[in-house]
Protein backbone atom coordinates (compact mmCIF):
# COMPACT_ATOMS: atom_id res chain seq x y z
CA UNK A 1 0.00 0.00 0.00
CA UNK A 2 1.17 3.53 -0.76
CA UNK A 3 1.42 5.20 2.61
CA UNK A 4 0.73 8.75 1.49
CA UNK A 5 -2.19 8.21 -0.86
CA UNK A 6 -5.63 9.81 -0.70
CA UNK A 7 -7.35 6.69 0.59
CA UNK A 8 -5.06 6.40 3.62
CA UNK A 9 -5.83 9.99 4.63
CA UNK A 10 -9.55 9.19 4.71
CA UNK A 11 -9.25 6.38 7.24
CA UNK A 12 -10.51 7.06 10.73
CA UNK A 13 -8.46 6.18 13.81
CA UNK A 14 -10.11 2.80 14.36
CA UNK A 15 -9.56 1.72 10.75
CA UNK A 16 -5.95 2.89 10.65
CA UNK A 17 -5.20 1.11 13.93
CA UNK A 18 -6.68 -2.09 12.49
CA UNK A 19 -4.51 -1.89 9.35
CA UNK A 20 -1.41 -1.40 11.50
CA UNK A 21 -2.40 -4.27 13.79
CA UNK A 22 -3.00 -6.56 10.78
CA UNK A 23 0.37 -5.68 9.25
CA UNK A 24 -1.00 -3.93 6.16
CA UNK A 25 0.99 -0.83 7.08
CA UNK A 26 3.75 -0.33 9.63
CA UNK A 27 3.74 2.34 12.35
CA UNK A 28 6.71 3.99 10.64
CA UNK A 29 4.85 4.14 7.34
CA UNK A 30 1.75 5.55 9.02
CA UNK A 31 3.72 8.22 10.82
CA UNK A 32 5.79 9.12 7.75
CA UNK A 33 2.61 9.47 5.68
CA UNK A 34 1.13 11.80 8.29
CA UNK A 35 4.29 13.92 8.33
CA UNK A 36 4.17 14.22 4.55
CA UNK A 37 0.53 15.30 4.66
CA UNK A 38 1.28 17.95 7.28
CA UNK A 39 4.17 19.30 5.23
CA UNK A 40 2.02 19.38 2.09
CA UNK A 41 -1.02 21.09 3.63
CA UNK A 42 0.10 23.18 6.55
CA UNK A 43 1.45 26.03 4.48
CA UNK A 44 -2.16 26.91 3.65
CA UNK A 45 -3.73 26.03 7.00
CA UNK A 46 -1.18 26.82 9.74
CA UNK A 47 -2.63 24.11 11.96
CA UNK A 48 0.57 22.52 13.34
CA UNK A 49 2.86 24.89 15.25
CA UNK A 50 5.41 22.47 16.73
CA UNK A 51 6.83 19.57 14.73
CA UNK A 52 8.00 16.39 16.40
CA UNK A 53 8.94 14.45 13.30
CA UNK A 54 12.30 12.91 14.21
CA UNK A 55 11.20 11.76 17.65
CA UNK A 56 7.92 10.46 16.23
CA UNK A 57 9.77 8.31 13.68
CA UNK A 58 12.08 7.07 16.44
CA UNK A 59 9.04 6.18 18.55
CA UNK A 60 7.41 4.40 15.61
CA UNK A 61 10.51 2.30 15.02
CA UNK A 62 10.91 1.44 18.70
CA UNK A 63 8.88 -0.32 21.36
CA UNK A 64 5.36 1.08 21.16
CA UNK A 65 2.93 0.40 24.03
CA UNK A 66 0.53 -2.35 22.96
CA UNK A 67 -2.60 -0.21 23.21
CA UNK A 68 -5.65 -0.08 20.92
CA UNK A 69 -4.09 2.64 18.75
CA UNK A 70 -0.60 1.25 18.47
CA UNK A 71 1.34 3.21 15.85
CA UNK A 72 -1.40 5.72 14.94
CA UNK A 73 -0.11 9.29 14.38
CA UNK A 74 -1.67 11.90 16.64
CA UNK A 75 -1.46 15.61 17.43
CA UNK A 76 -1.57 17.30 20.83
CA UNK A 77 -3.10 20.73 21.28
CA UNK A 78 -0.43 23.24 22.32
CA UNK A 79 -2.14 24.09 25.56
CA UNK A 80 -1.75 22.00 28.71
CA UNK A 81 -1.54 18.44 27.40
CA UNK A 82 2.22 18.32 27.70
CA UNK A 83 4.92 15.84 26.81
CA UNK A 84 7.96 15.69 29.09
CA UNK A 85 11.06 17.54 27.89
CA UNK A 86 9.26 18.94 24.86
CA UNK A 87 7.97 22.41 23.87
CA UNK A 88 4.74 23.81 25.31
CA UNK A 89 3.93 27.39 24.29
CA UNK A 90 0.20 27.76 25.12
CA UNK A 91 -0.24 30.05 22.12
CA UNK A 92 1.85 32.67 23.95
CA UNK A 93 4.60 34.69 22.29
CA UNK A 94 6.79 34.95 25.40
CA UNK A 95 6.85 31.18 25.87
CA UNK A 96 7.51 30.75 22.16
CA UNK A 97 10.43 33.19 22.31
CA UNK A 98 12.17 31.22 25.06
CA UNK A 99 10.95 27.91 23.60
CA UNK A 100 9.57 26.82 26.94
CA UNK A 101 10.09 23.09 27.56
CA UNK A 102 7.62 21.27 29.78
CA UNK A 103 9.34 19.28 32.52
CA UNK A 104 6.43 16.87 32.94
CA UNK A 105 4.11 14.66 30.95
CA UNK A 106 0.47 15.44 31.64
CA UNK A 107 -1.79 12.65 32.86
CA UNK A 108 -3.81 12.65 29.64
CA UNK A 109 -0.72 12.68 27.41
CA UNK A 110 0.39 9.56 29.27
CA UNK A 111 -2.95 7.93 28.56
CA UNK A 112 -2.54 8.71 24.84
CA UNK A 113 0.98 7.27 24.87
CA UNK A 114 -0.15 4.13 26.71
CA UNK A 115 -2.91 3.71 24.11
CA UNK A 116 -0.21 3.51 21.43
CA UNK A 117 -0.60 6.92 19.79
CA UNK A 118 2.54 8.51 18.36
CA UNK A 119 2.59 12.28 18.65
CA UNK A 120 3.86 14.03 15.51
CA UNK A 121 3.36 17.63 16.65
CA UNK A 122 1.32 20.22 18.50
CA UNK A 123 -1.56 22.28 17.13
CA UNK A 124 -2.34 25.98 16.92
CA UNK A 125 -4.46 27.55 19.66
CA UNK A 126 -5.39 31.09 20.73
CA UNK A 127 -3.27 32.51 23.54
CA UNK A 128 -4.02 30.39 26.64
CA UNK A 129 -7.18 29.12 24.90
CA UNK A 130 -9.11 32.17 26.08
CA UNK A 131 -11.22 33.01 23.01
CA UNK A 132 -13.30 31.36 20.30
CA UNK A 133 -10.96 31.98 17.38
CA UNK A 134 -7.51 30.54 16.64
CA UNK A 135 -5.60 33.62 15.51
CA UNK A 136 -2.74 34.05 18.01
CA UNK A 137 -0.02 36.64 17.52
CA UNK A 138 2.52 33.96 18.36
CA UNK A 139 1.82 31.74 15.38
CA UNK A 140 -0.72 33.54 13.22
CA UNK A 141 -4.23 32.52 12.17
CA UNK A 142 -5.30 28.96 11.52
CA UNK A 143 -7.31 28.75 8.30
CA UNK A 144 -10.37 26.64 7.58
CA UNK A 145 -9.77 23.84 5.04
CA UNK A 146 -13.27 24.43 3.67
CA UNK A 147 -12.34 28.03 2.80
CA UNK A 148 -9.05 29.53 3.93
CA UNK A 149 -10.58 32.99 4.21
CA UNK A 150 -12.51 31.76 7.23
CA UNK A 151 -11.51 30.77 10.75
CA UNK A 152 -11.61 27.42 12.47
CA UNK A 153 -13.07 28.52 15.79
CA UNK A 154 -11.31 28.16 19.09
CA UNK A 155 -9.66 27.21 21.06
CA UNK A 156 -8.99 23.82 19.39
CA UNK A 157 -8.89 25.37 15.93
CA UNK A 158 -5.55 23.89 14.91
CA UNK A 159 -6.64 20.40 15.91
CA UNK A 160 -9.87 20.74 13.92
CA UNK A 161 -8.13 22.00 10.78
CA UNK A 162 -5.59 19.17 10.99
CA UNK A 163 -8.21 16.44 11.27
CA UNK A 164 -10.60 17.93 8.71
CA UNK A 165 -7.80 18.16 6.15
CA UNK A 166 -6.64 14.58 6.74
CA UNK A 167 -3.28 15.28 8.39
CA UNK A 168 -4.22 12.88 11.20
CA UNK A 169 -7.44 10.92 11.80
CA UNK A 170 -8.04 12.46 15.24
CA UNK A 171 -6.36 15.00 17.51
CA UNK A 172 -6.36 16.10 21.12
CA UNK A 173 -8.63 19.05 21.95
CA UNK A 174 -9.90 20.81 25.06
CA UNK A 175 -13.11 22.60 25.95
CA UNK A 176 -13.60 25.29 28.61
CA UNK A 177 -16.62 27.02 27.07
CA UNK A 178 -17.09 25.24 23.75
CA UNK A 179 -13.52 24.87 22.55
CA UNK A 180 -13.98 21.31 21.24
CA UNK A 181 -17.52 21.74 19.94
CA UNK A 182 -17.09 25.12 18.22
CA UNK A 183 -14.09 24.12 16.03
CA UNK A 184 -15.75 20.75 15.31
CA UNK A 185 -18.83 22.61 14.08
CA UNK A 186 -16.80 25.00 11.93
CA UNK A 187 -14.65 22.29 10.36
CA UNK A 188 -17.22 19.54 9.81
CA UNK A 189 -16.12 17.14 12.57
CA UNK A 190 -17.38 15.20 15.56
CA UNK A 191 -16.52 16.95 18.80
CA UNK A 192 -17.48 15.56 22.21
CA UNK A 193 -17.03 17.44 25.46
CA UNK A 194 -17.09 14.62 28.02
CA UNK A 195 -18.61 14.76 31.50
CA UNK A 196 -16.69 16.57 34.21
CA UNK A 197 -14.22 14.14 35.73
CA UNK A 198 -14.36 11.71 32.83
CA UNK A 199 -10.70 12.18 31.84
CA UNK A 200 -7.72 13.18 34.01
CA UNK A 201 -6.69 16.85 33.85
CA UNK A 202 -3.51 16.86 35.95
CA UNK A 203 -1.09 18.20 36.74
CA UNK A 204 -1.89 21.65 35.34
CA UNK A 205 -5.66 21.72 35.84
CA UNK A 206 -8.30 20.39 38.20
CA UNK A 207 -11.11 18.08 37.15
CA UNK A 208 -13.75 20.29 38.82
CA UNK A 209 -13.00 23.34 36.66
CA UNK A 210 -14.75 24.48 33.48
CA UNK A 211 -12.31 22.82 31.10
CA UNK A 212 -12.08 19.21 30.05
CA UNK A 213 -10.14 17.44 27.30
CA UNK A 214 -10.86 14.88 24.62
CA UNK A 215 -10.49 14.85 20.81
CA UNK A 216 -11.94 16.05 17.54
CA UNK A 217 -12.48 13.26 15.03
CA UNK A 218 -14.16 12.42 11.76
CA UNK A 219 -16.20 9.50 13.13
CA UNK A 220 -18.34 8.87 16.18
CA UNK A 221 -16.64 5.55 16.85
CA UNK A 222 -13.25 7.27 17.05
CA UNK A 223 -14.54 9.56 19.76
CA UNK A 224 -16.02 6.60 21.67
CA UNK A 225 -12.99 4.32 21.33
CA UNK A 226 -10.52 7.03 22.34
CA UNK A 227 -12.63 7.92 25.37
CA UNK A 228 -12.58 4.25 26.38
CA UNK A 229 -8.78 4.35 26.27
CA UNK A 230 -8.39 7.60 28.22
CA UNK A 231 -11.27 7.68 30.72
CA UNK A 232 -9.10 6.14 33.42
CA UNK A 233 -8.80 8.01 36.74
CA UNK A 234 -5.39 8.93 38.09
CA UNK A 235 -4.11 9.58 41.59
CA UNK A 236 -5.35 12.93 42.89
CA UNK A 237 -8.25 13.39 40.45
CA UNK A 238 -10.71 15.80 42.07
CA UNK A 239 -13.80 14.47 40.27
CA UNK A 240 -14.39 11.00 38.83
CA UNK A 241 -17.48 10.72 36.63
CA UNK A 242 -19.75 7.70 37.17
CA UNK A 243 -19.09 4.73 34.91
CA UNK A 244 -22.30 4.43 32.92
CA UNK A 245 -22.67 2.59 29.63
CA UNK A 246 -19.03 1.67 29.19
CA UNK A 247 -17.29 0.57 27.06
CA UNK A 248 -18.51 3.44 24.92
CA UNK A 249 -17.62 1.76 21.65
CA UNK A 250 -20.44 -0.69 22.35
CA UNK A 251 -22.94 2.18 22.31
CA UNK A 252 -21.96 2.97 18.72
CA UNK A 253 -23.20 -0.38 17.43
CA UNK A 254 -25.96 -0.91 19.98
CA UNK A 255 -29.58 -1.20 18.85
CA UNK A 256 -31.09 2.27 19.20
CA UNK A 257 -33.33 3.09 22.12
CA UNK A 258 -36.25 5.42 21.41
CA UNK A 259 -35.48 8.65 23.21
CA UNK A 260 -37.35 11.78 24.26
CA UNK A 261 -35.46 14.74 22.83
CA UNK A 262 -36.15 18.44 23.38
CA UNK A 263 -35.21 20.94 20.68
CA UNK A 264 -34.17 24.53 21.43
CA UNK A 265 -33.61 26.85 18.47
CA UNK A 266 -34.21 30.29 19.99
CA UNK A 267 -31.17 32.34 20.89
CA UNK A 268 -30.38 31.85 24.59
CA UNK A 269 -29.23 35.49 24.81
CA UNK A 270 -31.80 38.18 23.99
CA UNK A 271 -29.19 40.48 22.47
CA UNK A 272 -27.69 37.82 20.18
CA UNK A 273 -29.02 37.02 16.72
CA UNK A 274 -29.51 33.46 15.48
CA UNK A 275 -28.38 32.73 11.92
CA UNK A 276 -31.27 31.05 10.05
CA UNK A 277 -29.03 28.36 8.54
CA UNK A 278 -27.79 27.37 12.00
CA UNK A 279 -31.39 27.14 13.21
CA UNK A 280 -32.43 25.15 10.16
CA UNK A 281 -29.64 22.64 10.71
CA UNK A 282 -31.09 21.81 14.13
CA UNK A 283 -34.59 21.54 12.65
CA UNK A 284 -33.30 19.23 9.92
CA UNK A 285 -31.68 17.07 12.57
CA UNK A 286 -34.93 16.89 14.51
CA UNK A 287 -36.70 15.65 11.40
CA UNK A 288 -34.11 12.92 10.87
CA UNK A 289 -34.36 11.86 14.52
CA UNK A 290 -38.14 11.67 14.27
CA UNK A 291 -37.74 9.45 11.23
CA UNK A 292 -35.52 7.20 13.35
CA UNK A 293 -38.35 6.80 15.85
CA UNK A 294 -37.35 9.32 18.52
CA UNK A 295 -39.89 11.66 20.11
CA UNK A 296 -39.02 15.32 19.46
CA UNK A 297 -40.72 18.29 21.07
CA UNK A 298 -39.93 21.97 21.57
CA UNK A 299 -38.57 22.09 25.10
CA UNK A 300 -35.48 23.03 27.09
CA UNK A 301 -34.61 23.63 30.74
CA UNK A 302 -36.32 26.88 31.73
CA UNK A 303 -33.40 27.63 34.06
CA UNK A 304 -31.30 28.32 30.98
CA UNK A 305 -33.46 31.34 30.12
CA UNK A 306 -31.76 33.26 32.95
CA UNK A 307 -30.08 36.19 31.18
CA UNK A 308 -27.48 36.50 33.95
CA UNK A 309 -25.82 33.18 33.04
CA UNK A 310 -23.42 34.89 30.64
CA UNK A 311 -22.23 37.53 33.09
CA UNK A 312 -21.65 34.92 35.80
CA UNK A 313 -19.62 32.77 33.43
CA UNK A 314 -17.67 35.85 32.36
CA UNK A 315 -16.80 36.73 35.96
CA UNK A 316 -15.23 33.32 36.52
CA UNK A 317 -13.57 33.34 33.08
CA UNK A 318 -12.00 36.78 33.52
CA UNK A 319 -10.77 35.94 37.01
CA UNK A 320 -9.27 32.82 35.44
CA UNK A 321 -7.47 34.99 32.86
CA UNK A 322 -5.84 36.88 35.69
CA UNK A 323 -4.83 33.61 37.33
CA UNK A 324 -3.38 32.48 33.99
CA UNK A 325 -0.96 35.42 33.99
CA UNK A 326 0.16 34.51 37.48
CA UNK A 327 0.85 31.01 36.16
CA UNK A 328 2.78 32.49 33.23
CA UNK A 329 5.05 34.24 35.72
CA UNK A 330 5.98 30.86 37.17
CA UNK A 331 6.82 29.47 33.74
CA UNK A 332 8.88 32.51 32.73
CA UNK A 333 10.52 32.85 36.13
CA UNK A 334 9.86 36.57 36.29
CA UNK A 335 7.11 39.17 36.46
CA UNK A 336 4.88 39.31 33.40
CA UNK A 337 4.76 42.58 31.46
CA UNK A 338 2.23 43.81 28.92
CA UNK A 339 4.70 42.99 26.13
CA UNK A 340 4.59 39.29 27.07
CA UNK A 341 0.95 38.76 26.12
CA UNK A 342 -1.59 39.90 23.61
CA UNK A 343 -3.55 43.10 24.15
CA UNK A 344 -6.76 41.16 24.75
CA UNK A 345 -5.19 38.80 27.28
CA UNK A 346 -3.81 41.74 29.26
CA UNK A 347 -7.20 43.48 29.17
CA UNK A 348 -9.04 40.36 30.31
CA UNK A 349 -6.55 39.81 33.11
CA UNK A 350 -6.86 43.42 34.26
CA UNK A 351 -10.63 43.11 34.22
CA UNK A 352 -10.36 39.85 36.15
CA UNK A 353 -8.10 41.50 38.73
CA UNK A 354 -10.95 43.88 39.61
CA UNK A 355 -13.33 41.01 40.36
CA UNK A 356 -13.24 40.25 44.06
CA UNK A 357 -13.04 36.80 45.56
CA UNK A 358 -16.54 37.31 46.94
CA UNK A 359 -17.88 38.11 43.47
CA UNK A 360 -16.30 34.96 42.03
CA UNK A 361 -17.80 32.85 44.81
CA UNK A 362 -21.19 34.49 44.32
CA UNK A 363 -21.04 33.75 40.58
CA UNK A 364 -20.07 30.15 41.25
CA UNK A 365 -22.88 29.75 43.79
CA UNK A 366 -25.42 31.17 41.35
CA UNK A 367 -24.16 28.88 38.59
CA UNK A 368 -24.43 25.91 40.95
CA UNK A 369 -28.08 26.78 41.60
CA UNK A 370 -28.74 27.06 37.85
CA UNK A 371 -26.99 23.73 37.25
CA UNK A 372 -29.23 21.98 39.78
CA UNK A 373 -32.37 23.61 38.37
CA UNK A 374 -31.44 22.70 34.80
CA UNK A 375 -30.74 19.08 35.77
CA UNK A 376 -34.40 18.68 36.78
CA UNK A 377 -35.36 18.81 33.08
CA UNK A 378 -33.45 15.58 32.43
CA UNK A 379 -34.81 14.04 35.64
CA UNK A 380 -38.34 14.79 34.44
CA UNK A 381 -37.96 12.35 31.56
CA UNK A 382 -36.06 14.12 28.81
CA UNK A 383 -33.09 12.17 27.45
CA UNK A 384 -31.32 14.68 25.23
CA UNK A 385 -31.38 18.37 24.36
CA UNK A 386 -30.85 19.36 20.70
CA UNK A 387 -29.55 22.84 19.80
CA UNK A 388 -27.47 24.47 17.11
CA UNK A 389 -23.83 24.34 18.20
CA UNK A 390 -23.26 28.00 17.39
CA UNK A 391 -25.51 30.98 16.69
CA UNK A 392 -23.49 31.93 13.64
CA UNK A 393 -21.51 30.10 10.90
CA UNK A 394 -17.71 30.36 10.72
CA UNK A 395 -16.41 33.97 10.72
CA UNK A 396 -13.92 35.38 8.28
CA UNK A 397 -10.31 35.58 9.41
CA UNK A 398 -9.91 38.86 11.32
CA UNK A 399 -13.55 39.31 12.33
CA UNK A 400 -12.90 38.08 15.86
CA UNK A 401 -9.49 39.62 16.50
CA UNK A 402 -8.84 42.53 18.86
CA UNK A 403 -7.84 46.08 18.00
CA UNK A 404 -6.12 48.80 20.08
CA UNK A 405 -9.44 50.65 20.16
CA UNK A 406 -11.33 47.53 21.28
CA UNK A 407 -8.85 45.25 23.07
CA UNK A 408 -11.51 42.75 24.17
CA UNK A 409 -13.08 42.49 20.73
CA UNK A 410 -11.96 38.86 20.32
CA UNK A 411 -13.66 37.96 23.59
CA UNK A 412 -16.91 39.85 23.01
CA UNK A 413 -17.23 38.65 19.41
CA UNK A 414 -16.71 35.05 20.53
CA UNK A 415 -19.90 35.14 22.60
CA UNK A 416 -22.31 34.13 19.77
CA UNK A 417 -20.22 31.03 19.19
CA UNK A 418 -20.30 29.94 22.84
CA UNK A 419 -23.86 30.94 23.75
CA UNK A 420 -25.20 27.38 23.40
CA UNK A 421 -22.06 25.61 24.58
CA UNK A 422 -20.62 27.36 27.64
CA UNK A 423 -23.32 26.49 30.19
CA UNK A 424 -22.56 22.80 29.83
CA UNK A 425 -19.01 23.48 30.97
CA UNK A 426 -20.63 24.90 34.11
CA UNK A 427 -22.97 21.93 34.53
CA UNK A 428 -20.32 19.37 33.61
CA UNK A 429 -22.71 17.53 31.30
CA UNK A 430 -21.50 15.72 28.19
CA UNK A 431 -22.30 17.49 24.93
CA UNK A 432 -21.39 16.63 21.35
CA UNK A 433 -21.27 18.66 18.13
CA UNK A 434 -22.12 16.82 14.92
CA UNK A 435 -21.55 17.99 11.32
CA UNK A 436 -25.08 17.82 9.95
CA UNK A 437 -25.10 20.51 7.25
CA UNK A 438 -23.04 23.05 5.36
CA UNK A 439 -24.17 26.60 4.66
CA UNK A 440 -25.12 27.72 1.17
CA UNK A 441 -21.55 29.06 0.98
CA UNK A 442 -20.17 25.59 1.67
CA UNK A 443 -19.05 26.17 5.26
CA UNK A 444 -19.78 23.53 7.91
CA UNK A 445 -22.23 24.20 10.74
CA UNK A 446 -22.95 21.84 13.58
CA UNK A 447 -25.71 20.77 15.91
CA UNK A 448 -25.25 20.00 19.59
CA UNK A 449 -26.75 17.16 21.60
CA UNK A 450 -26.58 17.32 25.40
CA UNK A 451 -27.16 14.40 27.78
CA UNK A 452 -27.52 14.17 31.54
CA UNK A 453 -24.31 14.04 33.54
CA UNK A 454 -22.42 10.81 32.93
CA UNK A 455 -24.48 9.67 29.92
CA UNK A 456 -21.99 9.82 27.06
CA UNK A 457 -23.35 6.42 26.01
CA UNK A 458 -26.64 8.01 24.88
CA UNK A 459 -24.77 10.63 22.87
CA UNK A 460 -22.66 8.01 21.11
CA UNK A 461 -25.68 5.84 20.36
CA UNK A 462 -27.78 8.59 18.79
CA UNK A 463 -24.80 10.24 17.08
CA UNK A 464 -23.93 6.96 15.39
CA UNK A 465 -27.50 6.73 14.10
CA UNK A 466 -27.23 10.22 12.60
CA UNK A 467 -23.83 9.41 11.14
CA UNK A 468 -25.27 6.35 9.38
CA UNK A 469 -28.13 8.42 7.96
CA UNK A 470 -26.07 11.41 6.80
CA UNK A 471 -22.68 9.89 5.93
CA UNK A 472 -20.69 13.03 6.73
CA UNK A 473 -17.38 11.15 6.46
CA UNK A 474 -17.84 11.30 2.69
CA UNK A 475 -17.86 15.12 2.72
CA UNK A 476 -14.30 16.35 2.34
CA UNK A 477 -13.09 19.97 2.30
CA UNK A 478 -11.34 21.43 -0.76
CA UNK A 479 -8.04 21.28 1.12
CA UNK A 480 -7.58 17.61 1.94
CA UNK A 481 -4.76 15.14 1.54
Give the integer Cα–Cα distance in Å for 395 and 428: 27
For strands 384-388 and 260-263, give the pairing: parallel
Give the integer Cα–Cα distance in Å for 295 and 455: 18
Residue 16 Ramachandran class (φ > 0 left, ψ -120 to 50 alpha, else beta): alpha
The per-residue pLDDT for range 81-136, each reduced to its tens digit, is 999 999 999 999 999 999 999 999 999 999 999 999 999 999 999 999 999 999 99
pLDDT of residue 4: 47
pLDDT of residue 5: 60
pLDDT of residue 3: 43
CB proximity list for 121: less than 8 A, separation 6 or greater: 38, 48, 49, 50, 51, 52, 53, 56, 75, 76
Give the integer Cα–Cα distance in Å for 33 and 287: 40
The per-residue pLDDT for range 253-305, each reduced to its tens digit, is 898 889 999 999 999 999 999 999 999 999 999 999 999 999 999 999 999 99
Are 399 and 150 in contact by the 8 Å Cβ rule? The answer is no
pLDDT of residue 36: 97
| Of 175, 172, 168, residue with least CA distance to 433 | 175
What is the pTM for the complete model shown? 0.97
Rounded to the nearest angstrom, the gap between the alpha carbon of residue 119 and the centroid of all alpha carbons in its chain is 18
Active site residues: 77, 155, 179
Are 67 and 163 in contact by the 8 Å Cβ rule? The answer is no
Give the integer Cα–Cα distance in Å for 383 and 377: 9
Are 364 and 316 in contact by the 8 Å Cβ rule? The answer is yes
Give the integer Cα–Cα distance in Å for 329 and 335: 5
Q: Identify the three-state secondary structure at position 308.
A: coil
Q: What residues form DSSP beta bridges with 173?
A: 214
Give the integer Cα–Cα distance in Å for 133 and 125: 8
Number of Cβ within a 10 Å radius of residue 3: 15
| Of 204, 205, 251, 207, residue with least CA distance to 232 | 207
| Domains of the chain, CATH where assigned | 6-474 (3.90.1300.10)
DSSP 8-state assignment for residue 380: T
pLDDT of residue 256: 82
Backbone angles phi, psi at 139, to 5 degrees: -125, -10
For strands 73-77 and 101-102, give the pairing: unpaired
Give the integer Cα–Cα distance in Å for 157 and 151: 8
pLDDT of residue 257: 85
Give the integer Cα–Cα distance in Å for 327 and 67: 34
Are 256 and 465 in contact by the 8 Å Cβ rule? The answer is yes
Give the integer Cα–Cα distance in Å for 153 and 183: 5
What is the torsional sign of CA 314, 318, 319, 321? positive
Rounded to the nearest angstrom, the gap between the alpha carbon of residue 448 and the centroid of all alpha carbons in its chain is 13
| Of 128, 125, 130, 80, residue with least CA distance to 317 | 130
Give the integer Cα–Cα distance in Å for 299 and 292: 19
Q: What is the largest CA-CA distance in the chain?
A: 62
**Which alpha helices (DSSP H) does 107-265 contain, by range?**
107-114, 157-164, 181-187, 220-230, 248-253
Give the integer Cα–Cα distance in Å for 197 and 193: 11
pLDDT tens, N- to C-terminus, the chain (481 residues)? 444 467 889 999 999 999 999 999 999 999 999 999 999 999 999 999 999 999 999 999 999 999 999 999 999 999 999 999 999 999 999 999 999 999 999 999 999 999 999 999 999 999 999 999 999 999 999 999 999 999 999 999 999 999 999 999 999 999 999 999 999 999 999 999 999 999 999 999 999 999 999 999 999 999 999 999 999 999 899 999 999 999 999 999 898 889 999 999 999 999 999 999 999 999 999 999 999 999 999 999 999 999 999 999 999 999 999 999 999 999 999 999 999 999 999 999 999 999 999 999 999 999 999 999 999 999 999 999 999 999 999 999 999 999 999 999 999 999 999 999 999 999 999 999 999 999 999 999 999 999 999 999 999 999 999 999 999 999 999 999 9
Amino acid sequence: METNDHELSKLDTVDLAAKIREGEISPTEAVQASIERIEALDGELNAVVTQRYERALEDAAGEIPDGPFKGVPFLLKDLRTSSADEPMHLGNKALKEINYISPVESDLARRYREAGFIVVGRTNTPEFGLVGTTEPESYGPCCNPWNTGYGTGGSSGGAAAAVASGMVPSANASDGGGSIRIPAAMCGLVGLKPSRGRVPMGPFQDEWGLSIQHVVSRSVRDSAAILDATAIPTLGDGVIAPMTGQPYIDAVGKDPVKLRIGIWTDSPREELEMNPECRQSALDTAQILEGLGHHIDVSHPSALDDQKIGSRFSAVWMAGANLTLRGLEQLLGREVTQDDVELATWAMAEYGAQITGLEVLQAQAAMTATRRDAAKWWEEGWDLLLTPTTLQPPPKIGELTSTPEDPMRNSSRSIPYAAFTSFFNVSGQPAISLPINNTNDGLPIGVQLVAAYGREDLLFNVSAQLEAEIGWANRLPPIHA
